[in-house]
Chain A
Amino acid sequence: MGRCRIRVYRKAIRVWVVNILRVVTVLWLVAHFTLTTIYVLPTNPAQDTLKPLLDATIGKYFNQGWALFAPNPISADYELLVRPLSSSEFTVAQTKGLPNDGWYDVSSPMWTKFQSNRFSAYNLVFRPSSEALLNYLDEHQQQQVQLMVKTASAFCKDIGQSNASYVALMIRERPGKQWSERGTSQQPVARTTLVGIYPIDKSVENIHLYQP
C-alpha cells in the first residue's frame, strides 16, 4: 500500500514538472520572439531602453539583421584595384605618388566568370573581399584593410608577381545610371578611394582563381 502511494505521488510530481516545463517553453517562445522583434526593428525607444538585455541575448546568440537590399539596394559596382609595387617603385611612390598604369581590377573578372556559371565558386570565394570593401567605405577599420591586403597578395601570387614587395589598394565605385537617364549614352562618373600602400603578405594561401 505504501509503495503504491509513493508511485502515485511520483507520477503526480512528474506530471507537474512536465506541465511546468511546457509553460516555461511557451514563455520562452514569447519572450524570445518579442526580444527578437524589438532587436531587428529600426532604431526605436524600446530598443534604447532594452539595449543591454538585447545585446546580451539576441545580439550575442541570435544575431540577425534583415535589411536585405534595403532601405535602398546597392546601386553601384565596387571594384578593388591592385597595383603591385617593387621596393624601388614603393620608394618612388612615397615622393612622386602612385603610377597611373599597371593597376589590376581584381573584382570584375570574378563577376564575369560568376555570371557565366552560377554553379561556380567565384561568388563565394570573392565575397569576403567584396564585403570588406563595402564595410571599409562605411568605417575605415583595419580588419577590412587586412582582408583586402590578403586578397591582393593572393592575386599577386596568382599572376606571378614575385618581384612585388608592396601592394597599393584603391576602391573604384561605378554608379549605375539614374532611372531618368536609362537608355542614354551618358555614363555616370566613377569615383576612386585610395586605401593605401601595404607590404605584400607573402605567406597568404594561393587562390588559383586569376591564373591565365
Chain B
Amino acid sequence: MRTLCKAWGWLANDPHQLIGVRILQISIGAMLLFQIFLELPFARYLWGPRGVGWGSTSPVLGPMLGNVFDLVFTTDAGVFCVLFILGIGALGLLLGYSTRIATFLVLVTFFLLGQRLPELYDGGDDITRLVLFYMLFLLPHRAKFSSGELRVWFHNIAILAITFQLVIMYVISGFAKANGEMWQEGVAMYYISQVQWYSLPGAYELFMNPWIVALATYVSMFYQLLFPVAIISRMKLSWILLGIFFHLSIAVLMGLIAFSTVMIGLELFLISDQEYAKIWNRGHPFKDRQWY
C-alpha cells in the first residue's frame, strides 16, 4: 500500500526528467534538421510523384483519410511543403519553442514521409516515430504548472512510456543477438566490418584481432541485455556513459549518425534532474564558495 502511495505521488506531484526531456527534444530536432539538409536536394527523387516513393497512409489511416493525405505526394510542391513543416517543427524542438505543437508537426510529417517511402527509414527513425508520439504528452518547455495537476500526471506517464520503449528496444535487440551464432561466438563485428555499407576502410584489419572483435561483439550484446537492470542500479550513470561511447562508435564506424544522435539523446534523457544537479555541482566545486 505504501509503495502504491509512493508511486501515485511520483506520478502526481512534480514533473520528472525536465532536463532529460529538453536534451531529447534538442537531439531529435538536430537530427531531423541534419537529415532535411541532406535529403532536400533529393526530395523529388525520394518522395515526389516521379520518384522512388510508392507507399500510402491508407494502411494506417484508412482509405478515406489515407487518400486525402496521399494527395500531398502527387506534386513536388506538396513534398517540399511537408519538408518545410518538418523543418519548422524540428526547429521548434531544437530551440524549445512551442514544443508540443512542434512535436505534433514533426510527428505528422515524419509519419507521412515514412509511409511514402518505408525503405528509407531505419531503426533510429522507428524509435524516433514511437517516442514522438509519447512526447506529445510532455509538458511544453518552460510551461508553468502546479503540483498535482493532471498534465503533470500525463507528463510523467509519457516519461515512463519513453523509458519502457527504450528498454524494450535494447532488451529485444540484445535477446535477438543472443540467439545468433555469430554473436554467441564473438565474431559478429568481424563480419559487419567486411560490409562496405556499414564499415570504414581499416575496420576489417581492426576486427581481425581476436581480442578486439570478441570485446566489441560481447560488449554490444551484453550492454543491451543488461540495460534494464543497469539503469536502476548504482551503475546507471556509468552504463549511460558506456552507451554514449557505444553509439559514438556506431556513428563513426558505421556512419549511422542520425541513429546515434537520437540514441544518445535517449540515453541522456534517462538521467534525472537531481542527477544532473549533482553532476553540475561536481563539475563546479567552487561555484558557491565565498572567497573572503
Contact = CB atoms under 8 A, between A and B. Distances in A.
B194 interface: yes
Interface string A1-41: 00000000000000000100110011001001100110011
A121 B150 contact: no
Interface string A139-183: 000010011001100100000000000000000000011010011
B229 interface: no
Interface in B223-258: 251-252, 255, 257
Interface stretch (B92-100, B139-147, B165-173): B165-173
Contacts of B119: 127-129, 131-132, 135, 147
B12 interface: yes
A67 B181 contact: no
B201 to A, nearest CB: 6
Contact of A73 (B52, B54, B153, B188): B188
B275 interface: no
Nearest to B189: A73
B180 A62 contact: no
B176 A70 contact: yes
Contacts of A206: 45
Given A25-B153, A73-B188, A67 B173 contact: yes
A75 B200 CA distance: 14
Contacts of A118: 251-252, 255, 257
A74 B182 contact: no
Interface string A101-132: 00000001001101100111101110111111
Nearest to B253: A118
Interface residues of A, number: 67
B192 A22 contact: no
A205 B176 contact: no
Given A25-B157, A143-B54, A182-B190, A72 B59 contact: no
Interface string B146-180: 00001001100100110011001100110111011
B160 to A, nearest CB: 6
B154 A128 contact: no
Contacts of A73: 180, 182-183, 188, 191-192, 195
B29 interface: no
A46 interface: no
A52 B44 CA distance: 37
Contact of A22 (B12, B122, B194): B12
B120 interface: yes
A205 B44 contact: yes
Interface in B187-231: 187-188, 190-192, 194-201, 208
Interface of B: 11-12, 35, 38-39, 41-42, 44-46, 48, 50-52, 54, 59-60, 117, 119-120, 122-123, 126-127, 130, 133, 150, 153-154, 157, 160-161, 164-165, 168-169, 172-173, 175-177, 179-183, 185, 187-188, 190-192, 194-201, 208, 251-252, 255, 257
Given A37-B168, A176-B195, 7 more contacts: A26-B157, A40-B172, A61-B60, A69-B192, A72-B182, A204-B50, A204-B51
23 contacts: A22-B150, A33-B161, A40-B168, A60-B60, A61-B60, A62-B130, A62-B133, A64-B127, A64-B169, A66-B169, A71-B177, A71-B183, A72-B188, A73-B182, A73-B183, A75-B195, A114-B255, A115-B199, A115-B201, A118-B257, A125-B39, A183-B208, A205-B44
Ranked nearest first, the 5 interchain pairs of A and B with the lowest CB-CB distance are A176-B194, A71-B180, A70-B176, A75-B191, A128-B119
